Amino acid sequence: MAKPTGFMEYQRETPTKRDPIERLSDWQEFEIPLTDTRLQEQGARCMDCGIPFCHTGTLISGMASGCPINNLIPEWNDLIYRGLWQHALERLHKTNNFPEFTGRVCPAPCEGSCTLGIIEPAVTIKNIERAIIDRGWEQGWVKASSPKHRSGKRVAVVGSGPAGLACADQLNHAGHLVTVFERADRIGGLLMYGIPNMKLDKRTVQRRVDLMAAEGVEFVVNTEIGKDIPAQQLSEKFDAVVLCGGATKPRDLPIPGRDLDGIHYAMEFLTANTKNVLNGATPSPSFISAKGLDVIVIGGGDTGTDCVGTSLRHGCKSLTQFEILPEPPLERQPDNPWPEWPKILRVDYGQQEAIARDGADPRIYCIMTQNFVGDENGRVAELHTVDVEWVTGSNGKGPYPKPIPGTDRVWPAQLVLLAMGFLGPENTVIEQLGVEQDQRSNVKAEYEKYATSVEGVFAAGDMRRGQSLVVWAINEGRGAAREVDRYLMGETFLP
């Protein structure tokens, strides 16, 4: 595909970013796109590799290897190299309902399994994907397209995150009447409130939602199924129900002092901040400000990074990020071979900004919080920690973190953000419908079947598989739509 010798002629080049200090003064996206010529050169690097692992979409060692939605990557890389942008968009939309989302927030497991990545830096797949869809919107190629015929079947989708939106989009194009229920005041789920604006501009989300509405999807906001509407009513009024409510139960840190003021789950902090950015008015009572405070983020994943970037934009006094795991290596290790996802040290946008402002990476590894200490007003004032080493038990089990004697430390903190992941879905809807759950509390439904234990009720996304990537949510939403269509019509032509 593309230019046979391109990978030997051109070096990997990614978009430049606005100066870290400059971008701390606003909430705008900060990547500066490459020119068409440079994007064509990047497309030219896509090898004629024979077996393109980039779009395999499998799990290896519990991590994604290749694109979970099986994007036709070599095909649209070749089309970009040849300057055929509109054809590239058509190929991209065949597998991905929302490339403007994945092109911004996906960690790009496709690049981790790129064949070129064995010997050279991988092809810049994610950036090319974003460039294709952004060009499509700019040129007016992305247009509303309603189905020519309606089946008369009605489907309720609970949750408007990436799984719910993908499912609704597919079912609508299959001709069904789809209603999406969202308990928040805006559609988008974690795309709207879980990811900060500088990483995914909410106008980008709303633009796609508006397009889906123009195509016939009905959106109902400020409506919590199980509370505002009994879940059983959905089964009575709709021909099928798809549960896409996500894994929204956060992992807690039940240690002494946890009940002090100033300790919040990451999503409380991020959601309130995005609402404040979108409203553009006086901060609401739910707004949590980091301005002038010593902030500690507990958790080293993407959500933790988003807390870092948001706190810096608030103007926090200091910023520290705790990670209980060891610091990753700079390069792949022998036990992490290609095409596995490379478990290497990355410096994301939040850490880049902290380094620019404060002169040091905010992350501290192999550290465990033992307790919180408050002031006379009942607000958190300190964290007490101990360093840990990861060891294997005498019974061969592990590894597990073992405290290192003499490494106790005290950290000033007036705001603590818990970003340690999620345990599973909330239970209200699950219990009202009586669907079975698996050992991890997720809705029990077989992958690629998506049917729950209750007739006519399906589940997809994080609510079924547990906390995962946006691209896996889109995969499952599309798959659930296919099976719902088969259930309703006896056969399906959905991919």
Q: How many domains does the chain have?
A: 3
Averaged pLDDT, 103-115: 96
Distance between CA atoms of 360 and 375, rounded to whole angstroms?
28
Side chain identity at residue 106, one-letter code: C
pLDDT in tens, 72-88: 999 999 999 999 999 99
330-337: Cβ within 8 A, 24+ apart: 336/61
Q: Which of the four pLDDT bands, split at 50, 70 and 90, describes residue 395? A: confident
Distance between CA atoms of 47 and 479, rounded to whole angstroms?
30
Residue 239 lies inside a defined structural domain of this protein: yes
Averaged pLDDT, 467-482: 97
CATH number at residue 110: 1.10.1060.10
Which SS3 state, helix, strand or coil, does residue 426 take? coil
pLDDT surpasses 90 at 3: no
**Residues 244 and 379 reside in one and the same domain:** no
Q: Which of the four pLDDT bands, split at 50, 70 and 90, describes residue 283? A: confident
**Residues 328 and 391 reside in one and the same domain:** yes
Residue 412 lies inside a defined structural domain of this protein: yes
Which SS3 state, helix, strand or coil, does residue 16 take? strand
Q: Which of the four pLDDT bands, split at 50, 70 and 90, describes residue 29? A: very high
pLDDT in tens, 150-190: 999 999 999 999 999 999 999 999 999 999 999 999 999 99
| Residues 361/319, Cβ–Cβ less than 8 Å | no
pLDDT mean across residues, the chain: 96
Side chain identity at residue 170, one-letter code: Q
**Residues 322 and 435 reside in one and the same domain:** no
Instruction: Among 420, 455, 479, identify where a domain stops.
Output: 420
Question: Phi/psi of residue 247, each to 5°?
Answer: -105, 85
Residue 217 lies inside a defined structural domain of this protein: yes
pLDDT surpasses 70 at 1: no
Which SS3 state, helix, strand or coil, does residue 488 take? helix
Question: Phi/psi of residue 420, each to 5°?
Answer: -105, 20
Residue 144 lies inside a defined structural domain of this protein: no
CATH number at residue 268: 3.50.50.60
**Residues 162 and 192 reside in one and the same domain:** yes
Q: Would you state the pLDDT for residue 347? A: 96
Residue-range definition of the domain harbouring residue 296: 252-420
**Torsion sign (Cα): 471, 475, 480, 482:** positive
Q: Which of the four pLDDT bands, split at 50, 70 and 90, describes residue 398? A: confident
- How distant, in Å, are the alpha carbons of 263, 310, 388 from that of 410? 16, 24, 15
Q: Which of the four pLDDT bands, split at 50, 70 and 90, describes residue 142? A: very high
Q: Would you state the pLDDT for residue 126? A: 97
**Residues 74 and 205 reside in one and the same domain:** no
pTM of the model: 0.96
| Percent of the chain whose pLDDT exceeds 90 | 94
| Residues 143/155, Cβ–Cβ less than 8 Å | no
Residue 229 lies inside a defined structural domain of this protein: yes
pLDDT surpasses 90 at 281: no
Residue 494 lies inside a defined structural domain of this protein: no
Q: Would you state the pLDDT for residue 360? A: 97
Residue 79: CB atoms within 10 A of its CB come to 24
**Residues 259 and 374 reside in one and the same domain:** yes
